[in-house]
Amino acid sequence: MEYVVNLIKEIFNLLTSFGATGMFIIAILDSSLLSIPEVNDILVVGQCIKYPSAVLYYPLIAATGSVIGCLILFHIARRGGRVLLHRRFSSKNVEKVEAFYARYGVFALIVPALMPPPTPFKIFVASAGALQYPRARFIAAVLFGRFARYFSEGILAVLYGEIVLQYMREHPHIIGAIVLGAFIIGFLLYKLLVKLALKRAPVSSFGDRPFAKMAKDENC
């Protein structure tokens, strides 16, 4: 058993040396059947410290790999249904997640995708599959949540350097709260801008002119 653990460690050490390719593979493995908490967060932060100009690139690579890994778990749970879900997770936790989906919809995926370990996420992914959640919406939610998380960490890394790595290890929930807070502020600003835009838009700008033209043609 110890040999297997050491072998896995060696494989991951090898993958981390491959830069973006290794990050992509680790993200797939971590989000599907294996569990490698914090590795991708640390890799994203480390690469963004080395290459600040790639602060969009590395988070996108990690987020894309995570989406692919989540899709694997999503489809396994989709085939296995709720029977597989209750076999893999406790019934109490499954019921909580199902209630969360019923109440919050897509945010039941976005919020846990935003949060760093040790926040549970696979139960939300598996539940989405078992509950036949729309695949396109699932992909969009996970991609948005994961990219927002990794990009926020990348920005912090560019601004504050290696201290972010230490802070992530010691205070992961604070980093998660910062990311979640930024998302909530951004979402509220978006809703406010949409509301203001709708108030300023003329009511008759879309539909009245064609009907007016039709009435004029009929009178000719």
Confidence (pLDDT) at 208: 44
Confidence (pLDDT) at 92: 92
**Whether residue 117 has a cis bond before it, omega within 30° of 0:** no
- For residue 15 the two structure tokens come to 């993958």
Rounded to two decimals, the pTM is 0.76
Q: Long-range contacts of range 172-176, CB-CB < 8 Å, 24 or more positions apart?
A: 172/38, 172/116, 172/117, 172/118, 175/116, 176/114, 176/115, 176/116, 176/119
Confidence (pLDDT) at 120: 86
d(CA 190, CA 109): 19
Domain count, the chain: 1
Asked if residue 179 lies in contact with residue 149, where contact means CB atoms within 8 angstroms, the answer is yes
Give me the residues of the chain with pLDDT under 70, please: 1-16, 186-187, 190, 201-220
Domain span at residue 32 reads 2-219
d(CA 27, CA 12): 11
Confidence (pLDDT) at 216: 46
